[in-house]
Amino acid sequence: MKELKSFLGGRWVAGGGTPHTLLNPATEEPLARTTAGAADLGAALAFARDVGGPALRALSFAERGALLKSIAGALQSSRDELLELAIANGGNTRSDAKFDVDGAIGTLLEYSEIGNALGSRKFLLDGEGIQLGRSARFHGQHIAVPRHGVAVHVNAFNFPAWGFAEKAAVALLAGVPVLSKPATSSAMVAHRIMEILAEKKILPEGALSLLVGSPGELVSLLGAQDVLAFTGSGDTGARIRSARNVIEFSVRINVEADSLNAAVLGADVEPRSDMYELFLKDVVRDMTQKAGQKCTAIRRILVPKDVIDEVKSDLIELLATVKVGNPADEDVRMGPLATASQLADACEGVTRLGGRLAFGSTERNSEKGFFMSPVLVESPGDAVHEHEVFGPVASLLPYDENPASLVVRGNGGLVSSIYSEDQAFIEQLVMDIAPHHGRVFLGHPKIELSPGPGTVLPQLVHGGPGRAGGGEELGGPRGLAFYMQRVALEGSRPVIQKLIG
């Protein structure tokens, strides 16, 4: 069985914490084991700060962008191997695996281009210079410089490739070294990526480290120049935020957590119209892609009450065509959940939602593997606005006139979507729900190859207020701000102008 070590301080070392066996969630076959033994995380962070940081800061944005392009190229040349690992260790269908791996490559390439466009600078100018006094000599200019710490990235189990890349691309482009910690259960893909990058020596020493297995005391070792970007459950996010050193040293934290994403069908949409079919397609894709283990997946389906029966029967018809099984079989459209505990949580979550099951069940119907069927809940209780079931589960809710009051009961989300051609309805709903979201998706059948609301694009921000963690990632060059310190230069205009070039 493969032993997964961590890559810390520029070498492979036995990881910290209790050993953990990684399984194939479709067969429960053991695939790999994280290693036990104490890793010196303090020394690993110091190595990244002292060796990786200066090496990255010596490069221009264009040069850092070129590194990202090389990482993307390395992943592309090992794409088939990474897809196979995602199928085996993540329970992904081939299409799910491509979503993760190709999403990683695409995000790296997007940030490589941003680096290229930023050119030979090593820091960013923020806005125009400002005359501060009566004389033009007294001048101010905001700039943003890379922080001198480590970017610690803690990822959830569902996107081991994209989760690694979407965070690392932005930090490395900003000039900040990365220590990435994948979720243990699905760490094989991220581990293989690290092996590939270390073998090819693509990055300067210290620029990228990987911690496999338990995070141990990682968070408590962070200081004032470090940043921590976390993706995972709201509970873990809250624990990290409340760590003593995080509060004492104002460690900059970004949390991407739970979300009760809604999809709203407008009252103007006729059943069987192209808009209606798009709505059904996006709902079913979000329920079944990655077995619903997507933070952006539609959890609440809001439809006008006079069409709810029709929508229900159409969704049932589509869900009945989804073949659930071992994703190594090509005709399987939905694989298992990632772990036994994710399956138990999802089944318990369905019970917690209340209501009736219009489709699917939580009965176990296979001896091996963490499988469940897609589940469509009707007439759920209030828990539908409070509890995220992280699996192939969505609830159908009727609305009378204005769906906004239901949407915002999710208390802050990553994305909600609107399917309508009634401009007045769209405008009102966008204004009502936008402050509660990081993204609002306006579905339209004329958008060719629309990825649906569940796909996070590197050009747009990802994150959301409230329950979603209050964070923001990506968004093109906007994402760099998290890793950089904005500072105001105040003084003599010629001196400042020479300094900023």
User: Active-site positions?
Assistant: 256, 295
Residue 154 touching ligand NAP (CB under 6 A):
yes
Considering the complex, state which of residue 258 and residue 282 has its C-beta at the smaller distance from ligand NAP.
258
Residue 233 touching ligand NAP (CB under 6 A):
yes
**Three-class SS state of 351:** helix
| Nearest Cα to Cα of residue 443 among 421, 461, 463 | 421
Residue 482 touching ligand NAP (CB under 6 A):
no
Q: What is the CA 189 to chain-centroid distance, rounded?
A: 15
Q: Which residues pair with 180 in a beta bridge?
A: 153, 210
> Which tokens in the block code for residue 498?
């020479």
Residue 436 touching ligand NAP (CB under 6 A):
no
> In the bound complex, what is the minimum distance in angstroms from residue 361's beta carbon to ligand NAP?
22
Residue 465 touching ligand NAP (CB under 6 A):
no
For residues 198-227, which are near ligand NAP according to CB under 6 A? 214-215, 218-219
Considering the complex, state which of residue 257 and residue 353 has its C-beta at the smaller distance from ligand NAP.
257
> In the bound complex, what is the minimum distance in angstroms from residue 278's beta carbon to ligand NAP?
24
Query: Which segment (149-157, 403-411, 441-449, 476-484) binds ligand NAP by CB under 6 A?
Result: 149-157
Residue 239 touching ligand NAP (CB under 6 A):
yes
Dihedral sign for Cα 45, 46, 52, 56, please: positive
Can you spell out the DSSP letters for 268-329?
A: TPPTTSHHHHHHHHHHHHHHHGGGG--TTS--EEEEEGGGHHHHHHHHHHHHTT--BS-TTS
Cβ atoms within 10 Å of 18's Cβ, excluding its own: 9
| Nearest Cα to Cα of residue 412 among 393, 382, 385 | 385
Query: Which segment (151-159, 278-286, 319-327, 426-434) binds ligand NAP by CB under 6 A?
Result: 151-159
416 dihedral zone (left: phi>0; alpha: psi -120 to 50; beta): beta
> In the bound complex, what is the minimum distance in angstroms from residue 417's beta carbon to ligand NAP?
16
Query: Which segment (25-33, 35-43, 229-237, 321-329) binds ligand NAP by CB under 6 A?
Result: 229-237
Considering the complex, state which of residue 185 and residue 373 has its C-beta at the smaller distance from ligand NAP.
185
Residue 164 touching ligand NAP (CB under 6 A):
no
Position of minimal CB gap to ligand NAP: 232
Q: Which one-letter DSSP state was computed for residue 482? A: G
358 dihedral zone (left: phi>0; alpha: psi -120 to 50; beta): alpha
Query: Which segment (79-87, 104-112, 180-188, 200-208) binds ligand NAP by CB under 6 A?
Result: 180-188
Residue 112 touching ligand NAP (CB under 6 A):
no
Residue 388 touching ligand NAP (CB under 6 A):
yes
| Among 298, 414, 418, 461, interactor with ligand NAP by CB under 6 A | 414
Q: What are the Cα distances from residue 360, in Å, to 151, 243, 295, 316?
A: 42, 41, 21, 9
Q: What are the Cα distances from residue 330, in Å, to 94, 253, 290, 320?
A: 8, 41, 15, 18
* Distance, CA of 236 to CA of 228 (rounded, Å): 13
| Among 148, 167, 181, 300, interactor with ligand NAP by CB under 6 A | 181
Residue 114 touching ligand NAP (CB under 6 A):
no
Residue 256 touching ligand NAP (CB under 6 A):
yes
Residues in contact with ligand NAP by CB under 6 A are 154-158, 181, 183-184, 214-215, 218-219, 231-233, 236, 239-240, 256-258, 295, 388, 390, 414, 468
